[in-house]
């Protein structure tokens, strides 16, 4: 098999956003891999090799060739992580994400060869944490899992009593650990919207209006890419958990104290 060495576009994002930050030097230290995960993949050979690779990294992998097999299991929602394909026998992969997300906060990564133009939008709206396009190296799958673990897990570096600070004069965001992150004009516009919302969800239309972009009722990969790059910019600068979250079909929310300085 050639999948271990083939180059790949791992982001599932259009344009510059497709240069996935998994390979970016200077990223903050990643969290450890989960002790166990569910792999839902109907390609038997691919699933076998990927499971073997993850097992060698210390992960107990439970394989399912059919989404219905997972849902019919005794404890389908108790895994610490989920790796899913989209084209599956039984429940469609996107619907499976929705089902899982209603019952678990565990990490969910989609690894698929599907090339639909709206596939990234659909899986992220359904509740996935990341989308990887096949062919993808197993090392990159492992790094993606660690990145999602770091993003979703509580981090002892962050003191709940400390605030994030938005410096509008210097165009910088200061993390609770004191790290200062330089922001672009687009980043500043997004952060100011989140600041004004005071913890509430900011709709996609509100963000697009602030950014001077046309409003849309369909998939909005441009805004998704903007938020993705902003979050990665912060993650690369500080190990503090980034409280910037998407709300399915609604918008985005900053779930931490954020003040203007």
- Supply the pLDDT for residue 155: 47
Please check the confidence at residue 149 and state whether its pLDDT lies above 70.
yes
Residue 50's contacts (CB-CB under 8 Å, 6 or more residues apart) are 39, 41, 61, 83, 138, 141
User: Rounded CA gap, 113 and 115, in Å?
Assistant: 6
This prediction's pTM: 0.54
Task: Look up residue 200 and give its two tokens.
Answer: 């509430």
Please check the confidence at residue 187 and state whether its pLDDT lies above 90.
yes
Task: Give the model confidence (pLDDT) of 13-30 as tens digits.
Answer: 333 333 333 444 344 444
User: Rounded CA gap, 68 and 96, in Å?
Assistant: 9
The b-or-e profile of 194-212 (16+ CB within 10 A means b, else e) is: bbebeeebbebebbbeeee
Radius of gyration, alpha carbons of the chain: 19
Question: Residue 209 phi/psi, 5° resolution?
Answer: -60, -45
DSSP characters for 128-148? -SEEEESS--HHHHHHHHHHH
Query: What residues form DSSP beta bridges with 164?
Result: 258
């Amino acid at each position: 098999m050639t999948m271990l060495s083939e180059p790949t576009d791992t982001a599932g994002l259009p344009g510059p956003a497709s240069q996935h930050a998994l390979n970016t030097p200077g990223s903050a230290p990643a969290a450890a891999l989960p002790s166990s995960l569910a792999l839902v993949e109907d390609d038997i050979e691919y699933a076998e090799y990927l499971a073997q690779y993850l097992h060698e990294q210390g992960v107990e992998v439970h394989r399912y060739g059919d989404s219905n097999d997972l849902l019919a299991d005794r404890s389908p929602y108790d895994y610490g992580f989920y790796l899913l394909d989209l084209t599956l026998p039984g429940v469609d992969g996107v619907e499976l994400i929705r089902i899982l997300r209603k019952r678990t906060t565990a990490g969910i990564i989609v690894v698929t060869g599907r090339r639909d133009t709206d596939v990234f939008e659909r899986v992220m709206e359904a509740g996935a944490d990341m989308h990887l396009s096949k062919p993808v190296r197993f090392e990159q799958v492992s790094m993606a899992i660690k990145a999602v673990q770091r993003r979703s897990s509580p981090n002892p570096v962050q003191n709940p009593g400390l605030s994030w600070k938005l410096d509008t004069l210097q165009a910088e965001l200061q993390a609770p650990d004191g790290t200062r992150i330089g922001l672009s004009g687009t980043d500043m516009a997004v952060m100011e919207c989140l600041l004004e919302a005071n913890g509430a969800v900011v709709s996609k239309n509100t963000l697009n209006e602030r950014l001077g972009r046309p409003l849309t009722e369909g998939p909005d990969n441009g805004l998704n890419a903007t938020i993705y790059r902003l979050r990665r910019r912060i993650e690369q600068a500080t190990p503090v958990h980034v409280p910037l979250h998407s709300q399915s079909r609604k918008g985005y929310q900053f779930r931490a104290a954020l003040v203007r300085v």
